[in-house]
Amino acid sequence: MENKMFGYVRGSSKNQNEARQVEALKKYGVQERDIYIDKASGKDFNREQYQILEKILRENDLLVVSSIDRFGRTYSEISERWRFITKNIKADIFVLDMPLLDTRQKKDLLGTFINDLILQILSYVAEQERHFIRKRQREGIDLVMKTGKTKTGNPIGRPKIKKPENFNEVVDLWRKGEITAVESMKRLNLSKPTFYKMVKKDI
C-alpha cells in the first residue's frame, strides 16, 4: 500500500489563521483533501478531526503540521500523542517551522534522542505560552470586574475619542464669541457632552 501524507491544522474561533496553515501545508505538497482542520483549544486532543486523522494514519505515513503549538499546547499530551504516532502507529511527523523535528531523519539512537529533546523543549514552551495567555486573560477580567475599565483606562464599551486636530483653533473662536457652541460642535463633529468634557480638560 502506498504511503500517504496528511496535514493537520488547528485554530480557534478567536484565532482565524487556518488559511495560512493550510497554504503552508499545500505548498509543502499535502493535498487539500488530506488536510484535517479543527477549531478547538490546544489544551487536549479530544478534537473531532484529529481523532479521525489518528485512526486513518498507517505505518510509514507522514503527518505534517505547521508548528508544534498547532499540534497541541499541553506538554504531557503533546509528548504522549507524538509517541503514540511514531512508536505505536509507526508513522512519521514533520513540523514545518522546525525542520529538526522530522522523524524521517536519523532514525538511529542519537537521532531519536535529539528529536525527543527538541520535542520536549518546544512542547514545554507551547504549554507555557498557553499558561501566560490564560494568565493575561484572567488579569484583564479581574481588572474589568474591579474597576469597570480596561487596561487602557477606558470604560467598557466606550472607546477613547481623540481630540480633533482643529480643536484648539475652533475652541479659541468659540471663546472669543466669534462662533456659537453649537457651531463649534458641528465643526469638530463632537456631541455636546464630549465637547464640554474636552473643553473642561483643556482649561
**Digitized pLDDT (tens) for each residue of the chain, 203 residues in all:** 678 999 999 987 555 578 889 999 999 999 999 999 998 877 788 899 999 999 999 999 999 999 888 888 777 788 888 889 988 999 999 999 888 888 888 666 555 666 666 666 666 565 666 555 556 656 556 555 666 555 555 555 555 678 888 899 998 898 888 899 899 888 888 888 888 888 887 65
Residue 59 has a pLDDT of: 95
Residue 18 has a pLDDT of: 86
Task: Name the residue with cell 456659537.
Answer: 180
CA-CA-CA-CA torsion sign (14, 15, 16, 18): negative
CB atoms within 10 A of CB 80: 13
Beta partners for 10?
38
E strands present in the chain: 5-11, 35-39, 62-65, 92-95
User: What is each CA distance from 141 to 135, 144, 150, 153, in whole angstroms?
Assistant: 10, 5, 9, 13
Residue 165 has a pLDDT of: 85
3-state secondary structure of 94: strand
Say if CB 107 and CB 76 are below 8 A apart: no
Residue 122 has a pLDDT of: 60
Spatial CA neighbour of 104 closest among 114, 92, 116, 87: 92
Question: φ and ψ at 157, to 5 degrees?
Answer: 75, 5
Say if CB 163 and CB 194 are below 8 A apart: no
Residue 71 has a pLDDT of: 86
Domains of the chain: 5-131 (3.40.50.1390), 167-202 (1.10.10)
